[in-house]
Structure 1
């Protein structure tokens, strides 16, 4: 992709993948978000300078990302909200890959997701969600302001 793409990307989309690992009894979650959009959201939301690419203090940036995702990505399994723990992020091309895990999830028949990542920043924001349980993959697309999805396995 051209270098200018990260500055002027013409669409606003995030991709969240939630995979149930039955052997580990956990949900493994990854979110791919354009890093410039995430950085701008953090600056606006927390009213502080943020540099995701070259953070002066990685722990403080991680704390902001963890708090932001904790408010904008909520997961329930079989009617119970799960505690999702932020693990960290890495930059790959124009994207920030954010990793999270929910432990003590032995099974997942019904997965509900509330995802309004970047909705406050972009009226055109689209959030793609993929959920994988028992090797079966189900996906949906949420167009701002729609923020809720439910998956049955």
Structure 2
């Protein structure tokens, strides 16, 4: 009986206290001298944030105007995700997004990036919306993966290779 009660309490806690997390993976593609970036963000959280910012109705799962939705997402990420390599700012190009289950996968890239010794990432995605937001970051270069967790309000992470 105690185990069932415990499981019920944990389930109830998860319903009433949802977690807010995004995952950003930055992979260095040596053959193309580029960064390939994917951001996994809960679709409803991203949609609510974009809706508040744009003050317009929005459905990112079934957008009425995909180009306009892409523009909103690109603008949001441009203001909330920054990367520097070896102290030089990296210009991120938004490529698009796709919905997979409850997540929005947003894709970005940066060209003409030489191999680097250090990377700095500033990621405050959804920090304005959720005080408990957690942003996981993975940076991968030459098969070496470095990871960190940023708890709101901490938004900056440094990686050395």
TM over 0.5: yes
Partners of 1:88 and 1:100 within 8 A in 2: yes
Aligned to 2:109: 101
Would you say how many aligned residue pairs link Structure 1 and Structure 2? 147
Structure 2: tracts of 5 or more residues without a match = 1-14
Decide which of 4, 25, 33 is 1:17's aligned counterpart: 25
Name the structure with the higher helix share: 2
Instruction: Say if 2:127 is the partner of 1:119.
Output: yes
RMSD: 1.2
Give runs of ≥4 in structure 1 deviating > 3 Å. none
Aligned to 2:91: 83
* Length-normalised TM-score, structure 1: 0.94
Q: Work out which of the two has the higher radius of gyration on C-alpha atoms and give 1 or 2.
A: 2
For residues 17-56 of structure 1, what are the structure 2 equivalents within 5 Å? 17-56=25-64
Structure 1: tracts of 5 or more residues without a match = 1-6
Taking a change above 3 Å as real, the CA distance of residues 20 and 8 of structure 1, as seen in their structure-2 partners, is: farther
Residues 42-92 of structure 1 deviation map (CA, whole Å, 9 limit, x = unaligned): 011121211101100000000000000000000001000010000000000
Taking a change above 3 Å as real, the CA distance of residues 8 and 35 of structure 1, as seen in their structure-2 partners, is: farther
